[in-house]
């Protein structure tokens, strides 16, 4: 909703992208249900639709470009090994940052490790700090670790695909949840080294459960289909979301055009909303 409002508030367009890179979780049924949900809320799209599964050759070309610039190296670490290495007493990095375990492996060490597990590919960011300005949260400065650019099963990472897709679709502003604020510097860095246009970023507050955690399926009836069984319609959901944004009174029926007339990015609440179930 906020992406649609931000785009139309600026006389722009909202683009549709199908993130179906991972064949294990991407199904036609999931895509159809998501399209139906968006349509029922009044979320419309314009311009070229993009499907990531049809762009693997382009992603590989960018990976090759990074490799040729000596900005990639193979990583054989499991998630457990990364967690343990990052938690070591002598490691002083932001939480979740990769400590560079495989960055300087010799040829022999790489050959030995490859016998146990295939390698993922990580960027050689060298611990640079990147600054940018978020439309809602202001100036940001973040450490960029050596993040994965291609998984060990060959699937390109979200970080790579999304910046290349933004370029292809002519995206000028990315609107997404505030939980992704901390990883945005990776995208700014990638756009720089791949010589892509930078975009504006506008992170927005999440919807949380009563315990203060991100609302998820474990909380019960959170999908539109689940809520419909409780006689809560898509229009009711739109109204309730609008209420959390101070764009509607409680229970007030509103259309997307109604919300556009009231929308002012300067007054957007930055604290997360709690959706009690």
Q: What is the pLDDT of residues 160-169, one digit of tens each?
A: 999 999 999 9
CB atoms within 10 A of CB 165: 20
So what's the pLDDT on residue 94? Answer: 72
Under 8 Å between Cβ of 10 and 175: no
Helix (H) or strand (E) holding 261: helix 256-262
Note the pLDDT of residue 92: 59
Q: What is the mean pLDDT of residues 25-39?
A: 93
- CATH classification for the domain delimited by 55-199, as one of 3.50.50.60, 3.90.1150.10, 3.40.50.620, 1.10.10.60: 3.40.50.620
| Mean confidence (pLDDT) of the chain | 92
- Cα 83 from Cα 99, distance rounded (Å): 9
With left for phi above 0 and alpha for psi between -120 and 50, is residue 175 left, alpha or beta? beta
Q: Identify whether the C-beta of residue 86 lies closer than 8 Å to the C-beta of residue 99.
A: yes
Q: Which of 67-76, 106-115, 138-147, 214-223 has the lowest mean pLDDT?
A: 214-223
**Distance, CA of 45 to CA of 230 (rounded, Å):** 29
- CA angle 163/18/1 to nearest 5° reads 85
Q: Coil, strand, or helix at residue 20?
A: coil
Q: Is the pLDDT of residue 35 over 60?
A: yes
What pLDDT was estimated at residue 190? 97
pLDDT for position 276: 65
User: What was the pLDDT predicted at 86?
Assistant: 62
Buried b (16+ CB within 10 A) or exposed e, 115-135: eeeebbbbbebeeeebebeeb
pLDDT in tens, 169-211: 999 999 999 999 989 999 999 999 999 999 999 999 998 888 8
Look at residue 121 and tell me whether its pLDDT is greater than 70: yes
In this prediction, residue 124 carries a pLDDT of: 96
217-240: pLDDT as tens digits: 787 778 899 889 999 999 999 999
Q: What is the share, in percent, of the chain residues with pLDDT greater than 90?
A: 75
pLDDT of 133 higher than 70: yes
Q: Per-residue pLDDT for 91 more than 60?
A: no
Percent of all residues in the chain with a pLDDT value above 70, rounded to a whole number: 96
- Phi and psi, residue 242, nearest 5°: -60, -35
Separation of alpha carbons 230 and 276, rounded Å: 14
Q: What is the pLDDT of residue 244?
A: 92
Predicted confidence at residue 78, as pLDDT, reads: 87
Confidence of residue 90 (pLDDT cuts 50, 70, 90): low
Residues 6+ apart with CB under 8 A from 83: none
């Amino acid at each position: 909703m906020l992406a649609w409002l931000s785009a139309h508030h600026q006389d722009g367009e909202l683009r549709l992208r199908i993130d179906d890179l991972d064949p294990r979780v991407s199904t036609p049924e999931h895509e159809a249900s998501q399209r139906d949900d968006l349509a029922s809320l009044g979320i419309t799209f314009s311009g070229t639709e993009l499907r990531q599964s049809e762009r693997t050759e382009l992603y590989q070309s960018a990976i090759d470009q990074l490799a040729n610039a000596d900005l990639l190296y193979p990583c054989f670490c499991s998630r457990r090994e990364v967690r343990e290495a990052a938690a070591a007493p002598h490691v002083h990095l932001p939480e979740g940052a990769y400590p560079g375990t495989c960055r300087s492996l010799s040829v022999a060490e790489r050959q030995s490790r490859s016998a146990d597990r295939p390698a993922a590919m990580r960027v050689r960011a060298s611990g640079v700090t990147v600054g940018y300005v978020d439309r809602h949260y202001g100036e940001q400065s973040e450490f960029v670790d050596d993040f994965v650019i291609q998984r060990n099963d060959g699937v390109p990472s979200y970080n790579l695909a999304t910046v290349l897709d933004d370029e292809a679709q002519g995206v000028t502003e990315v609107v997404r949840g505030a939980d992704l604020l901390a990883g945005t510097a990776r995208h700014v860095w990638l756009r720089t080294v791949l010589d892509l246009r930078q975009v504006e970023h506008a992170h927005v507050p999440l919807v949380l459960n009563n315990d203060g955690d991100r609302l998820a399926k474990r909380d019960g009836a959170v999908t539109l289909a689940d809520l419909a069984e409780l006689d809560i319609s898509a229009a009711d959901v739109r109204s309730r979301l609008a209420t959390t944004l101070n764009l509607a009174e409680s229970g007030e029926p509103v259309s997307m055009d109604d919300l556009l007339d009231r929308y002012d990015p300067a007054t957007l609440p930055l604290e997360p909303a709690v959706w009690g179930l």
